[in-house]
Amino acid sequence: MKRLLLLCWLLSLFSYAVAKDVAGVRLDETIQRGEDGVTLELNGAGVREKFFFDIYVAALYLQQKSNQQSVILQNEAAARVEMRMLYSKVEQEKFVEGWNEGFRANLDEQRFKQLEDRLNQFNGWFETLHEGEVIELDYFPDKGTRVKIKGVEKGVIPGADFFQALLSVWLGDKPVTKSLKKGLLGL
């Protein structure tokens, strides 16, 4: 009986440590950021599809999991969105077009205008990406949204409002795709 309990306990530890697999991409269940020591949990993940093509896997990491859109979009705690490219080549122009469309679709005109200069700066950091390359969008409450592309830090966009608007691209009322929104919410 003791061996059986020990085996069950060990299996539960193993299942907790195992990474989640989405479209062949392994995602850690938890990550710890070296910069601030914050531990983030995988809230959910999914695939961005367009015209039957898999474009990227997106993963949302939060300090506290939630499946409620409004809670996540209003949260000002540390977070990360990680995007791993699946498609062979995504042009820089496609990223800019996608960010602009996502912000416009989910923000009213006044809020868009407040963020427009920061969105233009954000867009300026993007480049053409290829399969396997990674974008990390980390929110630091005291700093803003740090953008890393292919492991290279591009800069930081200040303000919780920017990160919340960025999240609305995936989690807003008009998300880039409903299936990806559902995945990121962990549903």
pLDDT tens, residue by residue, 140-183: 998 999 999 999 999 999 999 999 999 999 999 999 999 999 99
Q: pTM score, two decimals? A: 0.88
d(CA 130, CA 150): 10
What's the average model confidence in pLDDT over 101-112?
98
Average pLDDT, the chain: 92
Quick one: how far is CA 102 from the chain centroid? 14
Q: Give, in degrees to the nearest 5, the angle at Cα 123 between 89 and 63.
A: 90
* pLDDT of 101 above 60: yes
Tell me the domains of the chain and their CATH numbers.
2-184 (3.50.70.10)
Mean per-residue pLDDT, 13-30: 77
Instruction: Give pLDDT tens digits for 39-66.
Output: 999 999 999 999 889 999 999 999 999 9
Residue 89's beta-bridge partner residues? 130
pLDDT confidence of 119, banded at 50, 70, 90? very high
* Average pLDDT rounded to a whole number, residues 89-110: 97
Q: How confident is the model at residue 2 (pLDDT cuts 50, 70, 90)?
A: low
For the ranges 5-9, 28-32, 123-127, the lowest mean pLDDT is seen at: 5-9
Q: Is pLDDT of 19 > 80?
A: no
CB 131 within 8 A of CB 161: no
Instruction: Kindly state the percentage of the chain with pLDDT values over 70.
Output: 90
